[in-house]
Structure 1
Amino acid sequence: MPRASVILPVYNNVDFVLEAIHSILVQTYSDFELIVIDDGSTDGSTFLISQITDPRVIKIFHKTNRGLVASLNEGLKKANGEYIVRMDSDDISTPDRLAIQIAFMDQNPLVDVCGAAFTTSSGGTMKVNPASHEEIKTWLLFHCCICHPAIIMRTSMIHRLGVQYDSNYLHAEDYELWNRLAFQVQMANLPINVLYYRQHNGQVSNQHRAIQDATARRIRQRQFSKLGLELSDEENQIMLDILGFKINPYDYNSYSRALGFANWVLGQNSKHLIYNQEMLNTAFSRCISHIPY
């Protein structure tokens, strides 16, 4: 049984897929299986994948496109490794990614989900997400702070909790999963770059932005419901302005609305104790003051 199972779904990524696969096959840590799921590609990706001969690669071909969630859940079922690692077909893993993340998980048996920092392939600065579980749990109320193609998870946790991605949260299935798991398991983010995240016009966040934003709102509302809150359209817009660092401190109305909203949420949290109160206060303060983590 391999230590790690890398799940790599593919759909029409002929320009990038071989580079993504190669970045896994040349890892310094070699005890893994790579599950490549071609989800009915029509652009030549299927042929390129079929030519791979490395025995660590498990190739699955769908005749028709079933969607990303179906491929991800199929990968979870097929995985034989102690750890499950995610990888996208248009990104590049650093050569030491598996070694770094597996060593961390081995040394921290209470952590079930671990993300990491990443760098855009265009040469941007390294994006470091909140590190501790309570920070991650709190910031997930605002936005997705775990990079999906940079995570590693324990297979035992997947089986214990019967974890699957939820097709009801289209184009934000990872954001939904992290919010769900944040109340069940311990999470972490490593401040180490393990991935070069490719930005291009074909990625989901560009092609399906409106659907992704609407789904993210439903996910956040589910979390606000834990605080006994149902956001109106106006209140949701205030939250979007806050998390988007769009509050103008020199505009009295904008600033006072944001502060009032934050105090409202903090007041409810003090009653329900869903989030660490200090962490939540810090998150609101940083967003309103335009100080990213």
Structure 2
Amino acid sequence: MPRVSVIMPVYNNAAYVQEAIQSILNQTYTDFELIIIDDGSTDGSAYLVSLVTDPRVKKVFHQENKGLVFTLNEGLDMATGDYIARMDSDDHSVPERLSIQVSYMDDNPSIDLCGSAITYSIGRNAKINPVHHEEIKAWLLFHCCICHPTVMMRNRMINRLGIRYDVNYPHAEDYELWDRLASQIQMTNLPINLHYYRLHDGQVSNQHKVMQAYSVDKIHQRQFSRLGLQLSAEENQIMHDLIHFRVNHMDYNSYTRALGFANWVLEQNRIHQVYNQEMLNMVFSRCISVLPY
């Protein structure tokens, strides 16, 4: 039985899928299975997947497209490793990725989920995501700060909690899962680049912006309900300005509205104790000061 199960859904990524697969097969850590699930591709991706002969690869082919959430959950059902790693079919993992994450998880048994920094293109600086659990949890009120294809999770945690991706949050199913898990497990992002994340027109974030935004809004509503809050249209707009670092310091009204909103939410958090107060205050300060992580 392999120590790591890597789940790679594929849908119409013929231009990139071979590179993505090879980046896993070329890992310096070799005790893994690669579960590739082609979800009814129509561009030749399935044929390219069928050519892979490495015995560590398990291949599933859907005759019709069933959607990413179905495919991810199918991968979770198939995974037999101690650890489950995610991989997208249009990205590239560095050769040491699995080795570094397995070593970290072995050495830190209290951590159930481990992501990493990412690089959007070769030659650019790595984007380092929030590292420590309470920092991650606080930022999750604002952003999905764990990059899905960098994640490694403990299989026993997934089985213990009965974890599956939720079909009710299309195109933000990862963000919903991290938010759901944040109060139940310990998470981290390693501050080193383990993954090259490809930007292209065919990405979900480009093709399904409206539906993704709707799902993200639902997640935010759930988060604020834990604080005993239901935001008005005006308060939602202030939150969106904070999320997108659009607070105008030269506009007194914009600045004071954002500051008042932050203080209101922080007071509610003192009552409900959902987030670490110091971390939540830090995140609000960075959003108001336009200082992304």
TM class, shorter-length: over 0.9
Gap regions ≥5 residues in structure 2: none
- Conservation of the 8 A alpha-carbon contact between 1:14 and 1:43: yes
Note the C-alpha offset of 1:124: 2.8
Note the C-alpha offset of 1:289: 0.5
Superposed CA deviations along residues 191-226 of structure 1, whole A, max 9, x for unmatched, are 010100000000000111111111111101101000
Which letter does structure 1 place at the counterpart of 2:78?
Answer: K
- Conservation of the 8 A alpha-carbon contact between 1:122 and 1:198: no
What does residue 83 of structure 1 align with? 83
Which letter does structure 2 place at the counterpart of 1:207?
Answer: Q
What does residue 287 of structure 1 align with? 287
SS in 2 for 1:111: coil
Which letter does structure 1 place at the counterpart of 2:181?
Answer: L
Question: Do residues 22 (structure 1) and 22 (structure 2) align?
Answer: yes
Note the C-alpha offset of 1:123: 3.6
Question: Do residues 61 (structure 1) and 61 (structure 2) align?
Answer: yes
User: Equivalent residues in 2 for 1:63-142 (5 A)?
Assistant: 63-121=63-121, 123-142=123-142
What does residue 216 of structure 2 align with? 216
- Conservation of the 8 A alpha-carbon contact between 1:166 and 1:177: yes
What does residue 159 of structure 2 align with? 159
Note the C-alpha offset of 1:20: 0.1
C-alpha distance in 1, partners of 2:56/2:121? 26
Question: Do residues 242 (structure 1) and 242 (structure 2) align?
Answer: yes
Which letter does structure 2 place at the counterpart of 1:167?
Answer: V
Which letter does structure 2 place at the counterpart of 1:212?
Answer: Q
Could you tell me the percent identity over the aligned residues? 67
Question: Do residues 45 (structure 1) and 45 (structure 2) align?
Answer: yes
SS in 1 for 2:247: coil
C-alpha distance in 1, partners of 2:265/2:231? 11
C-alpha distance in 2, partners of 1:89/1:245? 31
SS in 1 for 2:2: coil
Superposed CA deviations along residues 20-42 of structure 1, whole A, max 9, x for unmatched, are 00000000000000000000001
C-alpha distance in 2, partners of 1:114/1:132? 10
Normalised to the residue count of structure 2, the TM-score between the two structures is: 0.99
- Conservation of the 8 A alpha-carbon contact between 1:122 and 1:199: no
Question: Do residues 183 (structure 1) and 183 (structure 2) align?
Answer: yes
- Conservation of the 8 A alpha-carbon contact between 1:245 and 1:287: yes
What does residue 148 of structure 1 align with? 148
Note the C-alpha offset of 1:125: 1.9
- The 4+ residue runs of structure 1 with deviation greater than 6 A are none
C-alpha distance in 1, partners of 2:151/2:96? 14
SS in 2 for 1:110: coil
Gap regions ≥5 residues in structure 1: none
Which piece of structure 1 moves more, 225-234 or 174-183? 225-234
What number of residue pairs does the alignment pair up?
293
Which letter does structure 1 place at the counterpart of 2:110?
Answer: L
Aligned alpha-carbon RMSD (Å): 0.7
Note the C-alpha offset of 1:236: 1.0
What does residue 273 of structure 2 align with? 273
What does residue 264 of structure 1 align with? 264
Note the C-alpha offset of 1:121: 2.4
C-alpha distance in 2, partners of 1:123/1:156? 37
What does residue 173 of structure 2 align with? 173
What does residue 255 of structure 1 align with? 255
Superposed CA deviations along residues 23-82 of structure 1, whole A, max 9, x for unmatched, are 000000000000000000010001111111000000000000000000000000000100
